[in-house]
């Protein structure tokens, strides 16, 4: 089975390869993961938790970027709101082709390199994404 993203109804605990929408979100712990964040047209955060590979060892590849873009487009994301958080340095080395394809597809995006940890985001009073950490 190929690398697949799935929707979750638990936006305060978005696990690997899951996505959710809410005005406040939280990912499960990042060790080698990145999170894609963007605002929808109704000012909710679209949050996607990407892992380097799935539970069967299938890697996230450049071809899988289409899944990310489909989730974002289906929810009318604002391209200028995109943030990518997490283990960016791991992805630029271990999944360089996939990372480059993701960066091109999300351009313009703001990268926020972060170490191991549990991260999230909320929509502030001015309808901007504010990062949070647990």
The pLDDT of residue 134: 82
pLDDT, tens digit, 9 for 90 and up, residues 2-58: 899 999 999 999 999 999 999 999 999 999 999 999 999 999 999 999 999 999 999
* Strand locations in 1-134 (E): 6-7, 18-22, 24-26, 34-39, 45-50, 83-86, 110-113, 119-123, 129-133
Arch. (CATH architecture) of 6-133: 2-Layer Sandwich (3.30)
The domain spans of the chain are 6-133
Tell me, what's the pLDDT at 59?
Answer: 97
> How many Cα atoms within 13 Å fall on the side-chain side of residue 54?
13
Per-residue pLDDT tens digits for 92-107 = 999 999 999 999 999 9
């Amino acid at each position: 089975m190929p690398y697949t993203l799935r929707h979750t109804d638990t936006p305060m605990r978005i696990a690997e390869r899951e996505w959710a929408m809410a005005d406040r979100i939280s990912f499960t712990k990042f060790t080698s993961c990145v999170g894609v964040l963007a605002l929808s047209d109704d000012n909710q955060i679209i949050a996607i938790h990407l892992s380097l590979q799935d539970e069967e060892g299938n890697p996230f590849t450049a071809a899988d970027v289409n899944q990310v873009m489909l989730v974002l487009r289906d929810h009318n994301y604002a391209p200028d709101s995109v943030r990518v958080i997490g283990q960016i340095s791991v992805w630029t080395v271990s999944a360089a082709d996939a990372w480059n394809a993701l960066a091109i597809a999300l351009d313009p995006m703001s990268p926020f390199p972060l170490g191991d940890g549990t991260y999230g985001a909320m929509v502030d009073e001015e309808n901007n994404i504010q990062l949070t950490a647990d």
